[in-house]
Structure 1
Amino acid sequence: MASEHLTLVQLRLERAGRPILDGIDLCARAGEAVALVGMNGAGKSSLLRCITGEWPLAAGHVLVAGQPLAHYKPDDRACWLGVLPQSASLTFPFQVHEVIALGRYPHRTGNQRDQAIIAAAADACDVTHLLPKAYTACSGGEQQRVQLARVLAQIWEPIADRPRILLLDEPVSGLDLAHQHAVFRQMAPLQAQGVSVLFVVHDLNLAARYADRIAVLEQGKLVCTGTPHEVLTEERIARHFQLDVDIVPHPTLGCPTIISR
C-alpha cells in the first residue's frame, strides 16, 4: 500500500461555538486523487482550510507523513503544499508571468530553473499566450487557469524527504468543458510522481472520472468514502444529494456515469 501523505484523525472544527466538522477520519496516499463531494454547506471548503492550518481545530489531528502539521515550519510547508482556493483576489496589475512566479517564491532554485518551471506550468494550464498580459485584464476563466499554474509551479519538483500535496477547491469553477477536463488531466503526471491530490468538486461525473477515491460530506460529517463504483450508487446519490439518477458505465472508461432522471 502506498504511504499516507496526509491523514486526518477525528478532526473537529468549530466556528463561533458552532460545530462545522466533526469526527473526520480521512487519508490521501502518495499518488492518489481524492474527491470531496457533498451538498452546499457540507463542510468541504472548511475541511481544506483545516488541512492548511488556516482554521485551528477544536479536536483531532492533521498529520503529514506521520507528523503533525505544526511540525513543519511555514516556509518549509510552502514548498510542498500547494493550495488553490475557490477564489483568489488580486487587484494589482501584475503580468500573468509574475503571478505564476509567486509559486516559486518559497524555493531557492535559481532564476534559470524557476523560469523553466514557470514556462512548463503555463503550458500545462494553457496560459502561455497570456504570460505578458495583465492578470486583471484576463477573463475569470483565464484567471482561474493562471492561479492553477501558480500552484503547480509551487509543487512542480520533488523535495527530498517531503511529501507533495495539492489541495484544489472547485478548480474548474467558471471553466469551459475543454479546460475542465484539461485541468484534471494535468493531475495525472503529478500523481505519477507521487503527489497526493485532494479536490473539491460539485460535478459527480468529474469525480467519478478523475478520483481514485471519493469522500462524501454531509452536515460536517464524513458519511462514506470509497472508490467511485462504491460511492456513486443510485441509492447513495438519492440519499445524500436528493436527486434521482441512473448510473451507467462510461462507454470507454468504465467509470460510473450519472444521468439525472
Structure 2
Amino acid sequence: MTARPVELAVEAVRYEIDGQPLLHGIDLTARPGETVGVVGPNGSGKTTLLRCVYGALRPNRGRVVLDGVDAASLGVKDRARRVAVVPQDAAGTFGLTVREVVAMGRSPHKRFWEQDGPDDVRRVAEALDTVGAGALAGRRFDELSGGERQRALVARALVQDPGLLALDEPTNHLDIRYQLEILGLVRGLPATALLVLHDLNLAALYCDRLYVLAGGRVAASGTPAEVLTEALLTEVYGVRARIATHPTTGAPSIVYLPEDGERAGY
C-alpha cells in the first residue's frame, strides 16, 4: 500500500429510515494513520455509521469529510481510491475465483474494461500471501469457509491501495490466530483504519481510540483505558465485569462475570 493516510471527520451525522432515527448526530474523528474502533451492543448503529462513512448510505443530515473534502461531492471511483471496505458479506462474487474477487480491488485505479497488467497480478498475489490465503487463489469464492472469505475480502481491500480502511467485523468467522494476524496487519498498514468490532478485548489491544455507540449516539469516546470501565459496561452492555491492565500489553483486559457472580463469590 502506498496511499497517504486519510484524515476522517464525521460531523453531526444523522441517518433515519421512515422517520425513525438510527444515528442521532454522530461526531467522530480519525487522524491520519490512527486505528479507531467503533464498539457497542447489537442495534447501536455501528454498521449504519460505517456505511455512511464509505458511502453505501447517505446521511440525512451532517457530513463525512475526507482530508477536508465533503465525501458526498466525490464520484464513486474517486471515493473508492480513498476508502476501501471490508464488509460482513460480499455481493456480486458468485462464480468468481478468489483471485478474481481480490483483483476487483484494482478497478478504482483503472479505466472501464482495462485489463489487469503485470503490476495488478503482482499486487493480488502479494495481498493474498499477506493474509495467508495464497493457496486459495484458484478456488471459487462462494465455496470458501467464512474465515477464508474474510481473509480474501481483506486482501481485496489491500490491493485497492486506500488511505482509509473501513472494516465491519473483520475478525468475524476467524479463529484466534487469524484474528490476531488480521488486526495486527491492519494496525501496521500505512493507512487510517476505522473498525467495527464486537470483541472488546481485541478492540482494547489494537485500537488507538474507541467510540462506544448506544442507541445511535456516542456514549463514550477516548483511549481504550479511558472508555472501557466497569461502569460503562454495566450501563451500555448490561453486564458485570472486572477490568485490569494486562501485564504484557498494557491494554485493558476484561473478564466478564456471571449474572450470579455475587453468589459465586466474585
Quote how far apart the aligned CAs of 1:91 are.
Answer: 5.4
State the match for 1:119 in structure 2.
125
SS of equivalent residue, structure 1 residue 150: helix
The equivalences for 1:120-159 within 5 A come to 120-155=126-161
The residue type equivalent to 1:99 in the other structure is V
The equivalences for 1:178-217 within 5 A come to 178-190=177-189, 193=190, 195-217=191-213
For 2:99 and 2:92, locate their aligned partners in 1 and report how far apart those are by CA, in whole Å.
14
Q: TM-score scaled by structure 1?
A: 0.91
The equivalences for 1:93-108 within 5 A come to 93-108=95-110
The residue type equivalent to 1:57 in the other structure is P
For 2:140 and 2:226, locate their aligned partners in 1 and report how far apart those are by CA, in whole Å.
45
For 1:56 and 1:94, locate their aligned partners in 2 and report how far apart those are by CA, in whole Å.
29
State the match for 2:41 in structure 1.
39
**Contact 2:93 2:101 (8 Å CA) reproduced:** no
The residue type equivalent to 1:44 in the other structure is K
For 2:56 and 2:91, locate their aligned partners in 1 and report how far apart those are by CA, in whole Å.
17
Tell me which of 205, 218, 243 is aligned to 2:214. Answer: 218
**Contact 2:35 2:206 (8 Å CA) reproduced:** yes
For 1:23 and 1:60, locate their aligned partners in 2 and report how far apart those are by CA, in whole Å.
7
State the match for 2:263 in structure 1.
none
Q: Deviations over 1:4-29 (max 9, x none)?
A: 71101111111111111012111111
SS of equivalent residue, structure 2 residue 81: coil
Name stretches of at least 5 consecutive residues in structure 2 with no aligned partner: 258-266
Name stretches of at least 5 consecutive residues in structure 1 with no aligned partner: 157-163
State the match for 2:229 in structure 1.
233
Number of residue equivalences: 249
Quote how far apart the aligned CAs of 1:55 are.
Answer: 1.7
The residue type equivalent to 1:210 in the other structure is Y
For 2:137 and 2:6, locate their aligned partners in 1 and report how far apart those are by CA, in whole Å.
36
For 1:65 and 1:184, locate their aligned partners in 2 and report how far apart those are by CA, in whole Å.
24
Q: Deviations over 1:180-232 (max 9, x none)?
A: 11110111331xx2x11000010000000000000000000011100000001
Tell me which of 46, 69, 72 is aligned to 1:70. Answer: 72
For 1:54 and 1:188, locate their aligned partners in 2 and report how far apart those are by CA, in whole Å.
24
For 1:141 and 1:171, locate their aligned partners in 2 and report how far apart those are by CA, in whole Å.
10
Please, what is the CA RMSD of the aligned residues? Answer: 1.6
**Contact 1:4 1:27 (8 Å CA) reproduced:** no
Structure 1 runs of 4+ aligned residues shifted over 4 Å read: none
State the match for 1:16 in structure 2.
18
SS of equivalent residue, structure 1 residue 258: strand
**Contact 1:93 1:136 (8 Å CA) reproduced:** yes
Q: Deviations over 1:144-181 (max 9, x none)?
A: 1111111111126xxxxxxx110000111111110111
Q: TM-score scaled by structure 2?
A: 0.89
The residue type equivalent to 1:20 in the other structure is L
State the match for 1:159 in structure 2.
none
SS of equivalent residue, structure 2 residue 109: coil
Quote how far apart the aligned CAs of 1:53 are.
Answer: 2.3
The residue type equivalent to 2:214 in the other structure is E
